[in-house]
Structure 1
Amino acid sequence: MSTVIDRTPPAVHLRIGGSRRTEGAGGTFDHVNPVTGAVDSSIPLAGPAEVEEAVRAAHEAFGIWRRALPAERRARLLKLADLMEEHGEEFARRGTLDNGTPFAMGAHFVETSAEWTRYYAGWADKSESQVTSMFAANGEFAYTLAQPYGVIGVIITWNGPLISLAMKIPAALAAGNTVVVKPSELTPYSAELFADLVEEAGFPPGVVNILPGTGAAGEALVSHPLVEKVTFTGGPDTARKILRSCAETMKPVVLELGGKSANILLEDADLDTACTLGTLMSVGTLTGQGCAFPTRMLVQRRIYEAALEKVAQVAATITSGDPFDPTTVSGPLINEAALTRVLGVIEKAKSDGARLVTGGSRIDGDLAGGYFLQPTVFADVDPYTDLAQREVFGPVLAVIPFDSDDEAIEIANSTPYGLSAYLHTQQLHRAHRIAEELVTGEVLVNGAANLAVGRPFGGWGISGVGKEGGRQGFEEFLRTKSVGIAGNGASA
């Protein structure tokens, strides 16, 4: 790691086919550094016209890419993973410039993103067909074909600009699809480097097209008749608009949306592990700006006060500041609007009777120009108030007591979300029973890691549709065709 890091933002382009554009019909966007609150660059935005060009380029490239040998697709993806690791420090730098992610944490995201890319490279030659009947009485022979869709529209959000790309694009490419990607204009720098490395890895022009763009560009991408499927990471409100558009042509979707994940601490939990992980992941990591974070800590009453004490101790160790400083754990929120919104959530929680344990205020002093907020913990939270029911997407943890396992399950299942859940206990039979009852896409027990690429990830309810990760993440980008062939009794 360099001792002095260049803080100059890189140039951003629209990537269509093999071309790089310095301007688009969507005009420009002033990127604001969330650490300082000042504009640091102006980036070009695609409009519907550039989306049309990119989709056409991807459609043309699909005719080549779908017929590429699986070994070639695998080789290109493996090369891309190697290049991502080789440029790890630059990806970490750009992630910090994008949204204020601490530089040290950015290195972890690079490792994870490279692993996702390698994993799906391994699936490139493993799509399977099935024989569904053999020479029956009528002599028919039947089988299935697993085939790529074609052009996939990819829309990602701003909180994890590199890992979001890696969770979607490699699986789609391994299956033989091409992509048109709309990254958030709030975080354009990581996507620019990703596009550079796609080119260096030898992917044919048009296989990957990347367009920071306007809302109108996103709408044009979703509704384009040559886009066969849409995969989106973001919030439920935007997802509903995507669903309405896709409903016109019954276009399939993958939607990775928000969450309000419960972290259940049973009375026999390892408090040091449970409270440290639960606190860091809710009010430290990415400043709480993550969909799967354990933002509701449900604690069995017998250990409630002890857990609160540990949570407060851990929260006090979380340092907020310059994300290029290696001692910084928590950076800024993404923008002024986010800061204002989260401060409103805090005030509402107070009025609803929650007890403020720590934090709750904007950070001033040397950080006053940026969008920094103290790690904030509330205790005695009513599980049916807004703080416990709605996603905050900021560094605010709600701690809730419970008495029995059944009460914990009821509280955990009480929100409309269903993305992730966390559970801490030394009794495996309780873990199995509670995991079965939780209405959520995944349950992580005793510190199991998030985003393990071999494990399907995706929510229920308003947390989304479809899966990323594992074999299911690969099969999201394949569709099944049945073939029946008449046998000896058929006419010529």
Structure 2
Amino acid sequence: MNSPIIEHLRSACRLDRMYVGGEWVVPEAQARSAVVDPSTDEPVAEIALGSSRDVAAAVAAAQRAFVTGSVSSPHSRALLLDRVHSLILERAELFAQAISLEMGAAIGMARSTQVPVAAEHIRVARDIAGSYPFLTHRGDTAIVREAIGVCGLITPWNWPLYQITAKVGPALAAGCTVVLKPSELSPLSALLFAEVMHDAGAPAGVFNLVNGQGPEVGAALAAHPDVDMISITGSTRAGVLVAQAAAPTVKRVAQELGGKSPNVILPDADFARAIPAAVAAGMRNVGQSCSAPTRILVPRERLAEVERLACETASAFVVGDPRSPQTTHGPVANRAQFNRVQEMIGVGMAEGARLVCGGPGRPQGLERGCYVRPTLFSDVQPQMRIAQEEIFGPVLVIIAYDSVDEAVAIANGTEYGLGAHVQGRDLAAAHAVALRIRAGQVHLNNPPWSPDAPFGGYKRSGNGREYGVEGLEEYLETKAILGYLEGPAPTAA
């Protein structure tokens, strides 16, 4: 396939470059990695992969830039973010096409969700940079919140641009400088984002991009003594490895990791609305979201009704070519994930769960590519693997409960605690249930997504928060200056 995205990046010499110190440079390493279109399972391009030496060069550039960047005014940082925000919106179609190609997102979903919500992270960071109280007073003490330093940002393939902006935006708003390592499986939107940073006039070294694999580039970033903070979004396993590599240098590590989020449908819910919404939320982005509510908890006496409504919803999805405007769900993002999802569908059947919709194999008429049939299991016991392990595909489990107390226990009964949903007509009762669920973010009756709501997990879903003010504060250190009344008050960056 002769993609305009690939031709754009190739003609601009981006595929064989990394972005360091304000320039597109050839990496020292000679390694290459294929970019595969998951709708065909065929390579469409190759990108250059960096090495630990390339990481060292990028960190050095970021460290030099931090000397002046850390004392830049919040107003100037907000102006940079404003230009970045505008350029993302101007190039929205280019980004949408890239995301659809690199990880299979349906083009309608890429246009309506993947790109706009990514832009929102930059807008929020811009607004906070201009209003955050970097300097406050407490008695005769000045409390200064200042940039932590050079930040290594490791982002995943499932929401490629969205996860980049969720980290880069607040880091730059805080006055930090960054080295970004995007997933080598979905690098195209990251290269386009580097172009945006350059064209927005980011000072040299403030933003750096090194493509590469986790064991080489990710590990080098985590271990580098001049990196002050690592922020990673990925699997729990990847988060553990990054934290271990970072431990000897005692740097801050923020982790947004795996999830197995519950969707508690309370007995008084409007099931005709709640169940279709639950299936849509769980299978959004083809189920490839760490916070996807993939466990639907329902009153046992309503189980047959739930199965019918859920299957009707899943059967109405249009699975197919992600470039078609009619498609609602494209392929999963890569062959490894396709194999994982197929394996877990088999595990569910072997465990004795009842398949009520979908199943193994590709949808009819899609003989190649990483397409998965939207799949629902019922008669699922809470300790089954399909109810405990993150599948990361369009596979949902329906679990029956006999009391609300039991529903809460099931909701909390995994090693994860990233997100949760609660649906019911009595908002006070739904709120009471939300307070009992051990998760970092709980949605009541499917509210609109908010870029200001802090996002992050309990337990093995990670630590730290992204989005909004809390997301900015992850990139700040706290300094107390006592006795400021004896002289001029300090000024914050």
With the shorter chain as reference, the TM-score category is: over 0.9
User: Is the Cα contact below 8 Å between 1:274 and 1:424 reproduced in 2?
Assistant: yes
Per-residue Cα deviation, 1:218-241 (whole angstroms, up to 9, x for no partner) = 111111111000000001111111
Partner of 1:30: 34
Q: Distance in 2 between matches of 1:210 and 1:95?
A: 18
Residue 118 (str. 1) matches residue 123 (str. 2): yes
Q: Counterpart of 1:173 in structure 2: which amino acid?
A: L
Where does structure 1 lack aligned partners over 5 or more consecutive residues?
Answer: 135-141
User: Is the Cα contact below 8 Å between 1:36 and 1:367 reproduced in 2?
Assistant: no
Alignment partner for residue 482 of structure 1, among 475, 480, 490?
Answer: 480
Report deviation, 1:366. 4.7
Instruction: Report the 3-state secondary structure (helix = DSSP H, G, I; strand = E; otherwise coil) of the residue aligned with 1:230.
Output: strand
Per-residue Cα deviation, 1:455-483 (whole angstroms, up to 9, x for no partner) = 10000011110000121111111110112
Write out aligned runs for 1:46-445 (5 A): 46-107=50-111, 108-125=113-130, 126-134=132-140, 142-214=141-213, 215-283=215-283, 285-363=284-362, 366-445=365-444
Q: Distance in 1 between matches of 2:389 and 2:75?
A: 45
Per-residue Cα deviation, 1:270-296 (whole angstroms, up to 9, x for no partner) = 22332122112223x221111011100
Q: Distance in 2 between matches of 1:213 and 1:104?
A: 29
Instruction: Report the 3-state secondary structure (helix = DSSP H, G, I; strand = E; otherwise coil) of the residue aligned with 2:79.
Output: helix
TM-score (norm 2): 0.93
User: Is the Cα contact below 8 Å between 1:161 and 1:183 reproduced in 2?
Assistant: yes
User: Is the Cα contact below 8 Å between 1:34 and 1:334 reproduced in 2?
Assistant: yes
Partner of 1:458: 456
Q: Distance in 2 between matches of 1:58 and 1:210?
A: 11
Q: Distance in 1 between matches of 2:457 and 2:190?
A: 25
Partner of 2:491: none
Call closer, same or farther: CA 1:464–1:301 in 2, change over 3 Å. same
Per-residue Cα deviation, 1:370-393 (whole angstroms, up to 9, x for no partner) = 011100000110011101011111
Matched residues, percent identical? 36
Q: Distance in 1 between matches of 2:337 and 2:235?
A: 14
Aligned length: 476
User: Is the Cα contact below 8 Å between 2:363 and 2:373 reproduced in 1?
Assistant: no
Per-residue Cα deviation, 1:70-114 (whole angstroms, up to 9, x for no partner) = 111101101111111111111100001110111111112211111
Q: Counterpart of 1:433 in structure 2: which amino acid?
A: A
Report deviation, 1:297. 0.2
Call closer, same or farther: CA 1:324–1:22 in 2, change over 3 Å. farther
Instruction: Report the 3-state secondary structure (helix = DSSP H, G, I; strand = E; otherwise coil) of the residue aligned with 1:124.
Output: helix
Report deviation, 1:143. 2.1
Instruction: Report the 3-state secondary structure (helix = DSSP H, G, I; strand = E; otherwise coil) of the residue aligned with 1:32.
Output: strand
Q: Counterpart of 2:300 in structure 1: which amino acid?
A: R
Report deviation, 1:243. 1.2
Report deviation, 1:343. 1.2
Per-residue Cα deviation, 1:249-271 (whole angstroms, up to 9, x for no partner) = 22111100111000011122122
Partner of 1:137: none
Q: Counterpart of 1:61 in structure 2: which amino acid?
A: A
Instruction: Report the 3-state secondary structure (helix = DSSP H, G, I; strand = E; otherwise coil) of the residue aligned with 1:227.
Output: coil
Call closer, same or farther: CA 1:374–1:144 in 2, change over 3 Å. same
Q: Counterpart of 1:29 in structure 2: which amino acid?
A: S
User: Is the Cα contact below 8 Å between 2:320 and 2:330 reproduced in 1?
Assistant: yes
Q: Distance in 2 between matches of 1:7 and 1:128?
A: 40
Q: Counterpart of 2:249 in structure 1: which amino acid?
A: T
Report deviation, 1:204. 0.5
Instruction: Report the 3-state secondary structure (helix = DSSP H, G, I; strand = E; otherwise coil) of the residue aligned with 1:131.
Output: strand
Residue 467 (str. 1) matches residue 465 (str. 2): yes
Call closer, same or farther: CA 1:294–1:487 in 2, change over 3 Å. closer
Q: Counterpart of 2:135 in structure 1: which amino acid?
A: S
Partner of 1:139: none
Report deviation, 1:26. 5.4
Report deviation, 1:369. 1.9
Q: Counterpart of 2:117 in structure 1: which amino acid?
A: T
Per-residue Cα deviation, 1:183-207 (whole angstroms, up to 9, x for no partner) = 0110011001111111111110111
Report deviation, 1:339. 1.5
Instruction: Report the 3-state secondary structure (helix = DSSP H, G, I; strand = E; otherwise coil) of the residue aligned with 1:367.
Output: coil
User: Is the Cα contact below 8 Å between 2:30 and 2:48 reproduced in 1?
Assistant: yes
User: Is the Cα contact below 8 Å between 2:166 and 2:467 reproduced in 1?
Assistant: yes
Call closer, same or farther: CA 1:51–1:299 in 2, change over 3 Å. same
Q: Distance in 2 between matches of 1:429 and 1:27?
A: 57
Q: Distance in 2 between matches of 1:328 and 1:290?
A: 19
Report deviation, 1:8. 4.3
Report deviation, 1:486. 8.6
Q: Counterpart of 2:292 in structure 1: which amino acid?
A: F
Q: Counterpart of 1:75 in structure 2: which amino acid?
A: L
Q: Counterpart of 1:346 in structure 2: which amino acid?
A: I
Call closer, same or farther: CA 1:486–1:431 in 2, change over 3 Å. closer
Q: Distance in 1 between matches of 2:98 and 2:133?
A: 35
Q: Distance in 1 between matches of 2:266 and 2:363?
A: 38
Q: Counterpart of 1:105 in structure 2: which amino acid?
A: M
Deviates more, 1:313-322 or 1:123-132: 123-132
TM-score (norm 1): 0.94
